[in-house]
Structure 1
Amino acid sequence: MPQTTPAPQISIPAIYMRGGTSKGTFFNLADLPKRCQVAGAARDKLLLRVVGSPDPYGKQIDGLGNGSSSTSKAVILSPAPDGAHDVNYLFGQVNITKPMIDWSGNCGNLSAAVGACAIHMGLVAPERIPADGICTVRIWQENIGKTLIAHVPIAAGQVQETGDFILDGAPFPAARIQVDFISPAPEGSDMFPTGNLTDTLSVPEIGSFPVTFINAGIPTVFLRAEDLGLTATELQADVNNDSTLLTRLERIRAHAGVAMGLFSDPSDAETRQHTPKLAWVAAPKAYTASSGKQVTTEDIDLLVRAMSMGQLHHAMMGTAAVAIAAAATTTGTLVNEAAGGGSLSEVRFGHPSGTLLVGGQTEQVDGRWQVAKVSMSRSARRIMVGHVFVPADSF
């Protein structure tokens, strides 16, 4: 019988970047194969192969993913045609063990890299880039239809990537990039999906819990740590090695998704793992971060732990940090309560890798809670610029 000639590999220009406490592969839309420049199966298959999913071993050893939700990510950038933004930003959360990409939300950590990457790709008009100072990159986040503003430092006309800014969860210092999330709640609706600052969530065979549902940055359900039998000082191994706890938390998340109007049935959570996020909060207490850093009660206003793609996040997702900021600065939520209650404009919270300061401006408009802006400081850095190779028959 004649032998079939194996498919060749094709190469695609890409930039591999760290943004915040995540890493991802960034593409210019125009560089993708034609059939992958639109949403659909071909694009998903291509990006799955780039990242190395699905991998039954959970390592993504044959791609650019690193076997964690924080590093299993893809970004597509393109020119913004509306005149009000510089770049369009589309984010895909790639599942590690399943052939699935979740396009339902943003990645707040990689948002910190979008402005710099857009400059590197030539997507920001040269006249908008100062010789020295700050370049304000206006980003349209396509997944959620929101504006982000990245304040990117520039030195000698180039993105400044090195510096002395320390971000807990990233091992080396870099240049500070402020990211503003503008009106991160859905337009024309209350950022609290039920209209309440707190609700009671009933989960069959598990129990009922006071919760705060919020949709700012990313849909999130907050619970009190003590109601889950937790402390909010947990590190990854404390949660991710406990299969019983993971199953319990996922069932709560699934029912929260129904209560928030994201799912019609709890089973829908199986194919939508990126949203909603589940997090638990507690008042400040001392703990040792994963780096060995000692976090004292004086260092923080509250404790937060959050789940991402079925695992405890090693630090804090940027979008969840937006939700934390919005909820903490709204008097009456469980997050605000954990932070001591009352009127707050910013909070510093403790997460598994250390601490993070976030600020928010919330207000009621026509009886609905809205948040005008949430700001946080992150950093970003190019790790590799070149071409990624994939088999031509993989998509």
Structure 2
Amino acid sequence: MAHVPQIKIPATYIRGGTSKGVFFRLQDLPESAQIPGAERDALLLRVIGSPDPYGKQIDGMGGATSSTSKTVILSRSIKPDHDVDYLFGQVSIDKPFVDWSGNCGNLSAAVGSFAISSGLVDASRVPQNGIATVRIWQVNIGKTIIAHVPITQGEVQETGDFELDGVTFPAAEVQLEFLDPAAEEEGAGGSMFPTGNLVDDLEVPGVGVLKATLINAGIPTIFVQAEAVGCTGTELQDAINGDPEALARFETIRAYGALRMGLIKHLDEAATRQHTPKVAFVAAPVDYVASSGKPVAAKDVDLLVRALSMGKLHHAMMGTAAVAIGTAAAIPGTLVNLAAGGGARSAVRFGHPSGTLRVGAEAVEKNGEWTVTKAIMSRSARVLMEGWVRVPGDAF
């Protein structure tokens, strides 16, 4: 019996922040996958190795976690004053769908370097030595990200001494600015707080009434207090991911929070919108030991945060959720701000399962409405492999 042979597609496998993903130039995709739709989704699913009922993605490029089941498509920007259009697809591990509803803040750190290296940024904008400023249009959420990429001898510099908790080896620092990060297209008319409140009473069947901060910044996020959900804020991955009841409880909170935020109209829609919103729990600082064995002292952080992505506790922190944390921390009265001790602040350092992370945000209140002009954090990125990915020709 004859079988359709495999095809080769130019691709690059890159670590960005604490995530990894397969990066493509739009022009390199098969013609039928250059436009959004079922064929593009089928192609990316096959590249990553999903859906996989074994949950391992053995027959693909995915790493069987939400942090490593990611795809990126870049093209020269059609947006004025931008260099590159960045589209992110979160690939489900065990289900046949790609979630396009949000951004990946970690992989955002790799977009500028890939865009430069693959010829998507005009050479005139890249210095021989110094910092290249890459203006990124994040297509999923309709927002601008500015990446400051180090350049040495006209090439992207990836090696360096910048250390990022959750990543084993040091690399070059890439500073990211998320401009006007409140998500306009999400929830109640684009308000940063879709309910109009800094803190809501969220009724969740089987859990109770929870205090919750529901915010659209970086990515739609539901913040709850750790103690209210039976946690301490010091949990590592296994403590949550090895507890099916806890995971079910957080998914229920996520679904009811999504409904309250106006992201879905019916509860059953949450199952097909796994990437957003995120759910996170916060607590005041205490000493704990990170997953690497590194001690984290209460005096070295402002608060503790644990966040779930694609139904599992994240091993570190999603970049977009870090934007939400920094934004909420800058606004007095949110649960994040209160966990950090309250009051005005322009930056926050929080503890996560792998260590700590600092993120800054500029928040302004005008006529009773809060706006954030930008959130800033540093990540790193490194190309792991480049060449072609192969998929069966009839896979899409």
Q: Aligning the two structures, in what range does the TM-score lie when normalised by the shorter sequence?
A: over 0.9
Aligned to 1:182: 179
1:196 aligns with 2:193: no
CA distance in 1, matches of 2:145, 2:246: 35
Structure 2 CA distance, aligned partners of 1:369 and 1:91?
A: 28
Between the two proteins, the alignment pairs up a number of residues equal to 392
User: What is the distance in 2 between the residues matched to 1:335 and 1:297?
Assistant: 16
> In the alignment, is the contact (CA less than 8 A) between 2:183 and 2:218 conserved in 1?
no
| Matching residue's letter, 1:173 | P
Structure 1 residue 369 displacement after superposition: 1.3
* Corresponding residue SS for 1:110: helix
Alignment of 1:219-368 (within 5 A): 219-368=220-369
Unaligned runs of 5+ in 1: none
Range with bigger deviation, 237-246 or 76-85? 76-85
TM-score by length of 1: 0.98
2:89 and 2:100 in contact (8 A); partners too: yes
1:236 maps to amino acid = Q
What CA distance in whole angstroms lies between the structure 2 residues aligned with 1:41 and 1:223? 36
Per-residue deviation, 1:364: 2.1
Letter in 1 for 2:121: V
Alignment of 1:67-78 (within 5 A): 67-78=64-75
SS of 1:113's equivalent in the other structure is helix
Range 184-193 or range 153-162, more displaced: 184-193
Give the distance between the partners of 2:163 and 2:107, measured in 1 at CA.
17
Unpaired runs of 5+ residues, structure 2, are: none
What CA deviation, in whole Å up to 9, does each residue of 1:276-335 have, x standing for no partner?
Answer: 000000000000000000000111000000000000000000000000000001000000
> Is 1:7 paired with 2:4?
yes
Distance 2:288 2:122 in 1: 46
The answer on whether the counterparts of 2:183 and 2:219 sit within 8 Å (CA) in structure 1 is no
CA contact (8 A) 1:289 1:354 kept: yes
Amino acid at match of 2:323: V
Is the Cα–Cα contact under 8 Å of residues 23 and 73 in structure 2 kept in the other structure?
yes
> In 1, Cα distance between the equivalents of 2:16 and 2:193?
28
Q: Match for residue 60 of structure 2?
A: 63
What SS class does the counterpart of residue 317 from structure 2 fall into? coil
In 2, Cα distance between equivalents of 1:118 and 1:80: 11
Q: 2:390 matched to which residue of 1?
A: 389
2:20 matched to 1:23? Answer: yes
**Distance in 1 (alpha carbons) for counterparts of 2:210 and 2:155:** 51
Per the alignment, residue 376 of structure 2 pairs with 375
Question: What letter is aligned with 2:70?
Answer: K
**SS of equivalent residue, structure 2 residue 201:** strand
Deviations 1:226-279 (A, max 9, x none): 111100100000000000111111001100000000111221111111000000
Q: What's the counterpart of residue 87 of structure 2? A: 90
Residues 36-58 of structure 1: CA deviation (Å, up to 9, x unaligned) = 00000000000000000011111
Of 365-374 and 125-134, deviating more is 365-374
1:190, distance to aligned residue in structure 2 (A) = 2.4
Go from structure 1 to structure 2 and tell me whether the alpha carbon gap of 1:299 and 1:275 turns closer, same or farther (over 3 Å shift). same
- The amino acid of 2:30's aligned partner reads P
Q: Give the secondary-structure state (helix, strand or coil) at the position aligned to 1:267.
A: helix
Answer yes or no: is the 8 Å Cα contact 2:134–2:147 preserved in 1: yes
1:380 and 1:56 map into 2 onto residues whose CA distance is 31
Percent identical residues: 64
Instruction: Quote how far apart the aligned CAs of 1:370 are.
Output: 1.1
**Which TM-score applies when normalising by structure 2?**
0.98
| Conserved? CA contact 1:189–1:368, under 8 Å | no
Contact 2:225–2:283 (8 Å) recurs in 1 = yes
Does 2:212 match 1:211?
A: yes
2:388 corresponds to which letter in structure 1? H
Q: 1:90-239 maps to which residues of 2 (within 5 A)?
A: 90-187=87-184, 189-239=190-240
Instruction: Provide the secondary structure at the position in 1 that maps to 2:86.
Output: strand
Report the residue type matching 2:38 in the other structure: A
- Give, in whole Å, the separation in 1 of the partners of 2:96 and 2:367: 43
Question: Aligned letter for 2:141?
Answer: I
CA distance in 2, matches of 1:120, 1:72: 23
CA positional deviation for 1:81? 1.9
Following the alignment from structure 2 to structure 1, what is the Cα–Cα distance between the partners of residues 118 and 203? 48
The Cα RMSD (Å) is 0.8
Give distance in 2, aligned partners of 1:180 and 1:250: 30
